[in-house]
Structure 1
Amino acid sequence: MGSAHDRTAAELAARLAAENADSEIIDVLQLFPLRLGSALRCGYRWMILHAPWLYDVIYQVFFIGKRTVGTSPLTALAVPRLRRLVAARSPDEVVSTFHLAAQLTGRLRERGGLPCPSTVLITEFAAHRLWLHRGNDRFLSPNPGNVEEIRARTRRSALQCAPVVRPEFARIVADPKEAAGSVGADPGDRLVLVSGGSWGVGDVIATARILAGSGRYTPLVLCGNNAELSRRLRAAGLGPGLGWRDDVPELMAAAHALVDNGSGLTCHEAFAAGLPVVIHRPIPGHGRAGALAMARAGVSLHTGTASALLEALDLLADERSRKRQADAAFALFSSMPAQAGLISARKGGHSAPR
């Protein structure tokens, strides 16, 4: 829906190409007729930006509710196009990096329309029910704490894999003063990256105000493609909102911490960069579930009030606490790389709905 699933698919395809495997990335939303996929994306974006309470209701009822079915009825509409794609390409394996794709491949595999193995690469730290269609052959998860649960719920193979992030984020060294100058901050400022994902969701302005008001931290808000958020930040005197940038790895290497309100790819990138993560007032649904799962795993901190946020950031000023937090998160990358769990890396063919 946002960019995280796309970027994960792109990085996985690049890794497979490095191992001489052919790959093709397919946007699962484009498999739906009558532009229904685009309507789903627009509706979800409107909800998450303007009515997050409604998304929370949907998440509670349809994503994790006890009566939730394993497959969305919508997937039936996309089955014919996926079946034709598979017939035309004869892939050695299909990989899903989005839960709707996982339902679609699981349904098709279960009914004999997908002759090759189907793997689900879970991109979230908390795997809700819609990720776990039993028709798929195996599941890869970055969270070591839910692998056994996935096996029990699906009765399929489940393995832990390292989070899939671009290699540029692997612990690099950057000059905080140079990074501050590149974004118009004072060289002596203690920079804190604030992220609301590629859509700039959640009340990140309130978070920026807390940081700026403390006198100890300078917020740098990653606005993604949300130009309105950037405008509001400037109007509030909270500095320039940063849109898409090529130097995020360098900013992460120079920052004091990342404050996020989700639990997705930006957090995983920070883990790779050795940047401690604080998830503050996470967005409803998968954001809150992921924040709790990450906190339980000890790879991030989770706060809900202004005072708790500042206390967490102050705690990270202690080098031992900072190193303990960063090392726990970076240890996730000692697990098997995702591409190593795919048979097509050895056989040379891939089709990857996301």
Structure 2
Amino acid sequence: MGVRRPLRRAAAPGPHRRPDGTPLARLAGARLTDIAERSGADVVVPVFHLAAQLTGHLRDRRLLRAPSAVLLTDFAVHRQWLHPGNDLYLCLTDEAARSVRETIPVPAEPTGPVVAPGFFAPGPGAEAWWRRFGAYAPGRPPVVLSAGAWGAASEPEGTARLLVGAGFLPVVLCGRNAHLRARLARVPGALVPDWVTDMPGLLHAARVLVDNAAGQTAVQALAAGLPVVGYRPLPGHGAEGVRRMAALGASEFASDPATLLRALRHLAPDGPHRDHRTSRGRALFRADALTPVTALGAMARV
């Protein structure tokens, strides 16, 4: 706790000192400016908070000629995303855009999440997943447990066992974490695939996503019409993002095992509860983020 408290203070909105992008710029600045110059980039679009610090630092010092439009992919805005040198912020929600504008003097627009088009409509991959689920655990509703690309999760074995015991088929995504995958593969009744290349197919074939970060997998699920339940979120801005996503009505938050199972039993079957939650999630996809990015590039060329 002695480490996490100061980190939270530094990340909270308000009149605190902004993170300094100079060390990062020294490491990656020359490489980025070289790529931007050689490619003739009209706009640079950072999609990670450290990249947003880098572009803001370079723009602030006139070292990056192309404007920077930050695609802020978190529901909870933390200060590592924010640098006044950037030209534009594209946010998931009205609340996030307002938070950016109140913290730094940079335009911010609520465009909603950005995902690949394949997530919005069922593709051929879903049928292969259905067959795999049916062969592995007939009659059990498949529930995806996501640990993200890094394979970071809190007590995933316990969650998988909880779901198996309640009659669900946990499909556990361990990212690149081979050690975690080996551990989860020993849980009887859990399906633990290798690195998944067909996420649209998987999300269209599943019944619910259990998520711990409110990140890209969560918004991909919303696009696919898959209900999302936040459970055991990662500490820090991951937990804040999970709670803010639920407060918007785009997902549900389960604070304990009993609440998780109750949410899954409501959301897995077809019905009004599931329909309401998925419609609230899809309502976040409100605009094409490419439109303001293109406009920014056109303005820079004038």
**Length-normalised TM-score, structure 2:** 0.87
Gaps of 5+ in 1: 1-52, 350-354
Change (3 A) 1:261 1:123: same
CA drift of 1:167 comes to 1.4
Deviations, residues 239-268 of structure 1 (Å, cap 9, x unaligned): 331122233322222222000111111101
CA distance in 1, matches of 2:72, 2:13: 19
1:126 alignment counterpart: 76
CA distance in 1, matches of 2:140, 2:204: 14
SS at match of 2:284: helix
1:160 alignment counterpart: 110
1:110 alignment counterpart: 60
2:18 alignment counterpart: 69
Question: Any residues of structure 2 matched to 1:59-208 within 5 Å, and which?
Answer: 59-64=7-12, 67-77=16-26, 78-172=28-122, 179-183=129-133, 184-202=135-153, 203-208=155-160
Q: Which amino acid aligns with 2:274?
A: R
Question: Any residues of structure 2 matched to 1:28-47 within 5 Å, and which?
Answer: none
Deviations, residues 195-215 of structure 1 (Å, cap 9, x unaligned): 11012211222211111111x
Question: Any residues of structure 2 matched to 1:303-318 within 5 Å, and which?
Answer: 303-316=254-267, 317=269
Aligned positions, number: 294
CA drift of 1:236 comes to 2.6
CA distance in 2, matches of 1:245, 1:85: 30
Change (3 A) 1:174 1:327: farther
Contact 1:170 1:273 in 2 (8 A): yes
1:325 alignment counterpart: 277
SS at match of 1:198: coil
Once the two structures are overlaid, the 10-residue window that deviates more, 67-76 or 225-234, is 67-76
CA distance in 2, matches of 1:180, 1:249: 13
CA drift of 1:91 comes to 2.9
SS at match of 2:136: coil
CA drift of 1:233 comes to 1.8
Which residue of the other structure, out of 242, 250, 253, is the alignment partner of 2:201? 250
Structure showing the higher helix proportion among its residues: 1
CA distance in 1, matches of 2:32, 2:141: 49
**How many percent identity over aligned positions?**
36
CA distance in 1, matches of 2:164, 2:218: 22
SS at match of 1:240: coil
Deviations, residues 72-97 of structure 1 (Å, cap 9, x unaligned): 44224233443444454553222111
Q: Which amino acid aligns with 1:223?
A: C
Contact 2:91 2:109 in 1 (8 A): yes
**Length-normalised TM-score, structure 1:** 0.75
CA distance in 1, matches of 2:4, 2:214: 15
Which residue of the other structure, out of 192, 199, 214, is the alignment partner of 1:263? 214
Once the two structures are overlaid, the 10-residue window that deviates more, 55-64 or 109-118, is 55-64
1:211 alignment counterpart: 163
Once the two structures are overlaid, the 10-residue window that deviates more, 179-188 or 278-287, is 179-188
Deviations, residues 139-172 of structure 1 (Å, cap 9, x unaligned): 0011232212211212221111131111111132
Contact 2:42 2:297 in 1 (8 A): no
Contact 1:105 1:114 in 2 (8 A): yes
CA distance in 2, matches of 1:82, 1:180: 43
Deviations, residues 180-199 of structure 1 (Å, cap 9, x unaligned): 43144233111111111012
CA distance in 1, matches of 2:41, 2:126: 46
Once the two structures are overlaid, the 10-residue window that deviates more, 90-99 or 122-131, is 90-99
Q: CA RMSD in A?
A: 2.7
